[in-house]
Structure 1
Amino acid sequence: MKRTIFLGTGALAVAGGLAMAQTGHEGHTMAGDETPATIAYMEANARMHEGMAIEFSDNADADFVRGMIAHHQGAVDMARIVLEHGKDAEVRTFAQGVIDAQEAEIVWMEDWLARNGG
């Protein structure tokens, strides 16, 4: 049985048996004066959530790996944004480490999916 819990640009959250539609924009305001970094983070976040909205296969392992690829890519995208816009040397070093680790894990996950029919 396959289920998709994704509604266009939104998601379906199920809590205590009650389904609630969420657009992913709750609590966000657009004042029109966002910095390029903020806009980039918002776009990266939207891509990540869209990518994580997989069609579930009832294979817990494959579903986890498929969803985590988008999650890790989101981390890489965010780290690249801080490398472009950030100033703090410690944060930039951390961001580069995130990129290195997450890209290696994405390769592993893609290989695992290829080996396991995911």
Structure 2
Amino acid sequence: MSLSTHVLDTARGRPAPGLQVTCERRDGDGWQHLTTRETNDDGRIGDLLGREELTAGVHRLTFATGAWAAAHGRETFWPEVTVTFEIAAPDEHHHVPLLLSPFGYSTYRGS
């Protein structure tokens, strides 16, 4: 079905627009690049995969948090945040939000 994300800058209580997110799928011993996109003005990417089909297996999202913080004149401890997860039901929607602050982050499976 689909894969989406939403990045929130919890230090400011605002969305994180313009943050680059790369999506990859585990392929044997390595990773297959699927897409690289940027969050919109609301900090969202509604469909990370575009034309790629969501399949079962291990995936990862890499959020370019260091570059985003530098572009906004902010300090961060995280040059990047990588979230690795397994999709067991590709016919369902999967939402992987990132709550980001300069010295911490959290994520969960949303809807």
Superposition TM-score tier, normalisation by shorter sequence: under 0.3
The structure number with the bigger radius of gyration is: 1
* Structure with the larger helix share: 1
* Structure with the larger strand share: 2
